[in-house]
Copies of this chain bind each other. A is one copy, B any other.
Amino acid sequence: MKRGDPNGPFLATARGEFASRRPLWIMRQAGRYLPEYREVRAKMSFLELCKSPVAAADVTMQPLRRFDLDAAILFTDLMTPAEAMGVGLRYDPGPVLDRTVDSLEAVESMIVPDPERDISSMLETASLVRDELDEQKALIGFVGAPFTFACYLVEGRGSKHWDKVRRLMHGEPEVFDRLLTRITDCLEPLVPALVRSGCDAIQTFDSWAGVLSTEDYATRCAPHTDRLLRAAKDAGAVAIDFVNGVSQHLPTMHEAPADVLAVDWRLPMREIRARTDRVVQGNLDPTALFCDEAELRRKVAAICEAAGDRHIFNLGHGILPQVDPRAVEVVVEEVHR
C-alpha cells in the first residue's frame, strides 16, 4: 500500500512537526465550481459518481491537476454510508432518506455495515487515488460526525434549524443517545478500512453542530465523535475534527483526541489562536472568494499571520459552486508566498 510521505507538508504540519511550507487544501475542492467536474456530472448522478471508483478517483484528482494543493479529499458524501445501513438514500440535490430514524425500533433496525463488503466502492476509490497521488500529498478520507449524521436520519433531509433532531435530543434523550451510539457503531469500522485503503488522514465532519449549545455538544455529541477520531489515530492516520460551530465549541474541540482542529469562518483566527495552541485548519469565509483580488489576498494573509506555523490553510466550510476557479489560484498563490 502506497502512503503519503509523513514528512510532506500536510502530514508533517498535522502532526505538529516542521514542514517545508504551509499546507493548503479546500473543503469540497472537487466540486461544481470546476467545469471539468460539471462535465462528469452531466453524464452521471451524484450517487452514481460516488459509487464509480474510476470516475470518483478522477474527480478527486481534478483540483490537484489545476492547483498546487497539499491534500486530496476522497470524493464522496458524509451520508453515503447510510445506504449500507439500510436507510434508503437519494440526492435531491442534498441527501434524502426513504425513512426517518427517530424511534428506538428504527435505531435498532439499522445495520452495521461491513465496509469491505458493503462500502467497497469508497475503499476502491481511495486505493486508486493513493496510487495516482504524489507521495508529498496526503489523501484525506472522511466520515460524518454522529450528530450531523443523526440530523439527516431524524429529519429525513436537510433542514434550516434542525429543530426535529434538537427536539428529540431533549424530548427523548434515550432515543437520541442510542441513535448517536448506533451511528458511531456503524461508522467506526469504516475508519480503519479507509486507512487500510490508502487514506493518510480522516476528517470527521460536524457540519451542523453550530445549532447546539456548548453543553449539549460537549456532553451528548462530542464523545461519539471522539470515538471516530480515536479510531483514526489507532489506525495510524491523522485525525481532523471539523466542527462548523467553533464559536461556542472551541473549548470542547480543544480537548478532542484529534491531531488537527478544523474550524469555520465565524471566529477570527487571532482569537482561535489565543485560545488554543493545537494545530488548526481553516478558516477563510467561503464567500470571501467573491472579494476582489486585493481584499482576498489581504484576508488570506491575515489568517496565515494570525495562525502561525501550526496551521493548515482551508476555507471554513465547503467552496460554493458560483466561485471562479481563478479565486482559488489567488488563494493558493497567497498561502504559498
Residues of A within 8 A of B (CB): 158-160, 163, 166-167, 169-171, 210, 212-216, 245, 247-248, 265-268, 271, 285-291, 295, 320, 322
A159, chain B: closest CB distance, angstroms: 8
Contacts of A216 in B (CB 8 A): 285
Of B160, B170, B320, which is within 8 A of A290 by CB?
Answer: B170
A267 engages B213 (CB within 8 Å): yes
**Nearest residue, chain B, Cβ from A214:** B268
B213 engages A266 (CB within 8 Å): yes
A207, chain B: closest CB distance, angstroms: 11
Known: A163-B287, A213-B266, A248-B266. 13 other contacts (CB 8 A): A158-B160, A163-B320, A166-B287, A169-B287, A171-B291, A212-B266, A213-B267, A213-B285, A214-B267, A214-B268, A245-B247, A247-B248, A247-B267
Query: Considering the chains assembled together, what is the distance between the CA atoms of A245 and B247 in angstroms?
Result: 9
Query: Considering the chains assembled together, what is the distance between the CA atoms of A170 and B320 in angstroms?
Result: 13
A197, chain B: closest CB distance, angstroms: 32
B268 engages A213 (CB within 8 Å): yes
B287 engages A320 (CB within 8 Å): no
Query: Considering the chains assembled together, what is the distance between the CA atoms of A167 and B287 in angstroms?
Result: 5
Contacts of A213 in B (CB 8 A): 265-268, 285
Query: Considering the chains assembled together, what is the distance between the CA atoms of A271 and B247 in angstroms?
Result: 12
Contacts of A289 in B (CB 8 A): 170
A328, chain B: closest CB distance, angstroms: 15
A52, chain B: closest CB distance, angstroms: 29
A61, chain B: closest CB distance, angstroms: 27
Query: Considering the chains assembled together, what is the distance between the CA atoms of A266 and B210 in angstroms?
Result: 8
Quick one: given A160-B158, A160-B160, A210-B210, are A320 and B167 in contact (CB under 8 Å)?
Answer: yes
A281, chain B: closest CB distance, angstroms: 16
B167 engages A290 (CB within 8 Å): yes
Contacts of A159 in B (CB 8 A): 160
B247 engages A170 (CB within 8 Å): no
A190, chain B: closest CB distance, angstroms: 27
Contacts of A320 in B (CB 8 A): 163, 167
A285 engages B166 (CB within 8 Å): yes
- Can you list 5 pairs linking A and B with CB atoms under 8 Å apart? A159-B160, A170-B290, A213-B266, A214-B266, A247-B247
Contacts of A215 in B (CB 8 A): 268
B170 engages A285 (CB within 8 Å): yes
B290 engages A266 (CB within 8 Å): no
Query: Considering the chains assembled together, what is the distance between the CA atoms of A159 and B320 in angstroms?
Result: 15
Contacts of A171 in B (CB 8 A): 287, 290-291
Contacts of A167 in B (CB 8 A): 287, 290, 320, 322
Contacts of A268 in B (CB 8 A): 213-215
Query: Considering the chains assembled together, what is the distance between the CA atoms of A322 and B320 in angstroms?
Result: 34
